Structure 1
Amino acid sequence: MKKIFLSIAIAASLTSCESIGFDDPSTLTNEAAIDKIKSLGYVLTTSSIQTAFNTTTSNAGGSHFSLWADQSTNTNGSQSWWDFANEPRIRLNNNAAYRGYAAVREIYANFYQSNLDATKVIDMIENQKITIYDDKGADRTQDCLIGAYYAKGVSQGYLGVIFDRGIIVDDANLKLREFPHSYKDLIANGIKHLDKTLQLIEASPNLNFDFLKGVTISKADFVLIINSLSARILSSVAREQAEAAALGEQHWIKVLDYANKGFTKDYTITTTVGGYYNALVDVLERPYGTASYVPVDIKIAYLADKTKKTPNIYPLDNSVILAPIASDDKRFYEYFTYTSNFGILLEARGRGLFSNYLRSRWMYPKQSTLNVAGAINPYFLAEETRLLRAEAKYWLKDYQGAAAELNNPTAARKLKGGLPDIAASAAVLRDALHYEYAIEIDGAGGTFVPFTFMRRNDLLQGGTPTQFPIPQVQLELIGEPAYSFGGKEAAGEKGKYGELGTARDNGWKPSL
């Protein structure tokens, strides 16, 4: 008889991995496990939600996307960060032995595991008609159904944004050994599940969403989270500007609709011991003496410098150290700190990758990490939903409406930055949106923002991969050869579905 697993093998075989750990798991059937452990469905739901929730702000791949977006720079071999920051861009090494492989593998494994656990919960409730109890014996069936659909929606949506293809696992007994679904399929199915979650929430007045340790998310905030994430995911389909435009009016109207129902205040979470913290912001802000472990790329200073004297590559003359910039944006001095200490940046690996700035926006007083009790973690900033509204209007050619979003007195660029109004033209709006993602959102956008904004607006450096491939270890399970994207010599390369897999040399700065 079929055994039940807490960790199901991801994507390819779906049949073998770590068992749930009973005295004799080889003889425990699904039915016996469910009968023996009344809280099994609750445990699976909790695991699924925590994995999906945490991986949206994971640093395993998030720091690498920050490097590809020229939000960050590095010459460190740790996690192969140097390879991702390198200029000119090099091809992504899709090999299980590669030091940077964790960036690909962790995101893939986490989201697929979350999806698979959630699929099992939905099967238990909808097909097996099982009542799910928590560890106190309370009936949590409806809460778990809502949580499972949420985890599936986020997981499948994020997989579609990040990877070029995958497999939609909505059947707990699926045996397919292929990756037949495109990134667009994965995103569409993820959004379908998030829509289903919203429907279930509306019909559940007594929702108790307590699946994250140290925080219970209110029903109202949960609705805002789902709408905000839906807008983020749906806006991130396109791998280039032409594809973003070709998505059409109805697509961007839908993005705008989700964004209109998203956050109007920052959603943050206070760290509790053993609870959620924003691992991406943690690693991006981590000090290294008076320098930074993952410094801010020169792009940030280049965009903010009102004198326009900052170069787009650090001076190669080792006797030159750039002075602090002067900026009209008051936020710049709050969010970023100047240092003449280059820290762990190595000249032998490319002085052009050097930087004089580190992040200081979210630093908890007298602490170097957000993983301490009392630290405030950004999960979704209200300003991102404003930018999503503005960009949706931009693609809808409502330039006046887009400019009104950015010129609103409550917009961060106005209220906190003191910046002047911008004109309602396509070129000005695109530049303003790029600047806001670079300055205001930065690491607080989670795993792939602002990388995906730059991707869909042709702002990535030439040769930058626009997406991750399926990890080599998964391809080997079905006998398919490994493949990859990226490298200056591959600029303009297409993927399996005709999408742009490697950015052309038409980004924010020319490729070296």
Structure 2
Amino acid sequence: MKYISNKIITLAFALLFLVLQGCDLEEVNINEPDRRQVLATPSEVIALFESTNSIFFSRLISSRNVYYDHLADQSNSCSLSVPWPLNREPREQLSNDIGGTFERLFTRDWDESYRAITTANDILAVLDGDTWEDESEDAKNKLRAGVLTLKGIAMGYIGVIYRQGVIIEDSSVIIEDMVGSTPEDVINTAIEYLEEAKAIYAANSNLKWDYISDFNLSSTEITQIINTYAAKFLIGKARTHQEFQALDFNLIESYLDNAIEETFTGAGSSELYNGHQFYGSRLRRGSFSYSLDQKIPWLLSGKTAPTKKGMDDEPAITSIDKRAELYF
């Protein structure tokens, strides 16, 4: 009986060995699959893009590191109690704790933006390939414009937030071959992507932008949003008083003349266009911080600045930031 039991155990191990020999033991993380594994059909490509949009825009406004309703006058920090004001000249370096406890708060925005950019690159490669041969031109144009919009906004915030960025046109490039670019170059590239998207919407006025739940923006509405982001990024190029004076305000005004205004409404505004471009943001610990740069563009262009009920310029604004004298 013992002999038979040993034979059964031996046979079981032998069968297990044969099964394992025939298996592909390559590790696969089912929680984070390769994006290229879900790019086989148009419906899968669209689903990937919708999820990427949803994640990027929801995290865009929930970041504890950067408050996107602000630009040059925001307060950022990797510490819950130490501010990192960007309106100082020159800008202060990151005030981080030596233990790196809050490092993720700073790197998350980099990671999320480049995740959106590389996904956009993958989808654009599919659009330029054979997968979409049987799809209508409208379907391809709609997706391409949406992808370029996402890529431009993600790249724009890299230029606004960080001292250096990487312009990635091909997601297959290895890290050793990546070259850093200045914030100005990164923002200029972002504007190019946004302009490509605008050109598609201008040539196809029937296109919609509906890649986030409850959104159904017309080509005109999404173009207004694109123009608003473009103006924000161009203003965000300036990190010193001298750089501010050197900005191309004619170009900025040209975007703002066709940007969203106080009357702009739509579902889910906080996910996509920051609560109608509200220029005050509630920070941690219940304090308030008010951004000047959100109001500058409309003062320059004579447009009606989006406002929040109960907020105005009275009493007169004073600031240690000398640029305030130029703004008000």
The TM-score with structure 1 as length reference comes to 0.47
Q: Against the structure 1 CA distance between its residues 102 and 68, is the aligned structure 2 distance closer, same or farther, given a 3 Å change threshold?
A: farther
Give 1:123's aligned amino acid: A
Q: Against the structure 1 CA distance between its residues 191 and 161, is the aligned structure 2 distance closer, same or farther, given a 3 Å change threshold?
A: same
Superposed CA offset, 1:351-379 (max 9, x none): xxxxxxxxxxxxxxxxxxxxxxxxxxxxx
Structure 1 position 216, deviation (Å): 1.7
Q: Against the structure 1 CA distance between its residues 187 and 132, is the aligned structure 2 distance closer, same or farther, given a 3 Å change threshold?
A: farther
**SS of equivalent to 2:186:** helix
The answer for the alignment partner of 2:257 in structure 1 is 260
The answer for the alignment partner of 1:119 in structure 2 is 121
Q: In 2, Cα distance between the equivalents of 1:56 and 1:256? A: 25
The answer for the alignment partner of 1:479 in structure 2 is none
Superposed CA offset, 1:224-264 (max 9, x none): 000111011111102101122234xxx22111111111113
Structure 1 position 65, deviation (Å): 9.4
**SS of equivalent to 2:174:** coil
1:433 paired to 2:327: yes
The answer for the alignment partner of 1:390 in structure 2 is 299
Contact 1:55 1:111 in 2 (8 A): no
The answer for the alignment partner of 1:197 in structure 2 is 197
The answer for the alignment partner of 1:103 in structure 2 is 105
1:60 paired to 2:64: yes
Which of 19, 39, 44 is the aligned partner of 2:43?
Answer: 39
The answer for the alignment partner of 1:145 in structure 2 is 144
Superposed CA offset, 1:55-99 (max 9, x none): 442332235997994779xxxxx962212269x998525689523
Q: Against the structure 1 CA distance between its residues 99 and 182, is the aligned structure 2 distance closer, same or farther, given a 3 Å change threshold?
A: same
Superposed CA offset, 1:415-459 (max 9, x none): 97486999xxxx99943736xxxxxxxxxxxxxxxxxxxxxxxxx
Structure 1 position 278, deviation (Å): 6.1
Alignment of 1:368-407 (within 5 A): 384=294, 387-391=296-300, 405=302
Cα root mean square deviation, aligned: 4.8
Superposed CA offset, 1:237-294 (max 9, x none): 02101122234xxx2211111111111334455459xx8796999x9548xxxxx832
Q: Against the structure 1 CA distance between its residues 155 and 63, is the aligned structure 2 distance closer, same or farther, given a 3 Å change threshold?
A: closer
**SS of equivalent to 1:57:** helix
Superposed CA offset, 1:287-314 (max 9, x none): xxxxx832136x99xx9xxxxxxxxxxx
**SS of equivalent to 2:216:** strand
The answer for the alignment partner of 1:232 in structure 2 is 232
Q: In 2, Cα distance between the equivalents of 1:202 and 1:411? A: 25
Q: Percent identity?
A: 18
**SS of equivalent to 2:233:** helix
Q: In 2, Cα distance between the equivalents of 1:211 and 1:223? A: 15
Q: In structure 1, list runs of 5 or more residues that go unmatched.
A: 1-15, 73-77, 287-291, 304-382, 394-404, 435-512
1:210 paired to 2:210: yes
Q: In 1, Cα distance between the equivalents of 2:194 and 2:154? A: 10
The answer for the alignment partner of 2:20 in structure 1 is none
Q: In 1, Cα distance between the equivalents of 2:75 and 2:32? A: 43
**SS of equivalent to 1:206:** coil
Give 1:108's aligned amino acid: W
The answer for the alignment partner of 1:49 in structure 2 is 53
Q: In 1, Cα distance between the equivalents of 2:281 and 2:299? A: 27
Structure 1 position 138, deviation (Å): 12
Alignment of 1:446-461 (within 5 A): none
The TM-score with structure 2 as length reference comes to 0.69
Alignment of 1:292-441 (within 5 A): 293-296=285-288, 384=294, 387-391=296-300, 405=302, 417=312, 430-431=324-325, 433=327
1:184 paired to 2:176: no
Give 1:59's aligned amino acid: S
Structure 1 position 222, deviation (Å): 0.4
Give 1:151's aligned amino acid: L
Q: Against the structure 1 CA distance between its residues 284 and 240, is the aligned structure 2 distance closer, same or farther, given a 3 Å change threshold?
A: closer
Contact 1:60 1:103 in 2 (8 A): yes
**SS of equivalent to 1:143:** helix
Q: In 1, Cα distance between the equivalents of 2:253 and 2:72? A: 27
Q: Against the structure 1 CA distance between its residues 266 and 429, is the aligned structure 2 distance closer, same or farther, given a 3 Å change threshold?
A: farther
Q: Against the structure 1 CA distance between its residues 296 and 71, is the aligned structure 2 distance closer, same or farther, given a 3 Å change threshold?
A: farther
Give 2:287's aligned amino acid: P
Q: Greater helix share, 1 or 2? A: 2
Q: In 2, Cα distance between the equivalents of 1:154 and 1:139? A: 23
The answer for the alignment partner of 1:83 in structure 2 is 82
The answer for the alignment partner of 1:367 in structure 2 is none
Q: In 1, Cα distance between the equivalents of 2:214 and 2:205? A: 22
Q: In 2, Cα distance between the equivalents of 1:433 and 1:106? A: 32
Q: In structure 2, list runs of 5 or more residues that go unmatched.
A: 1-26
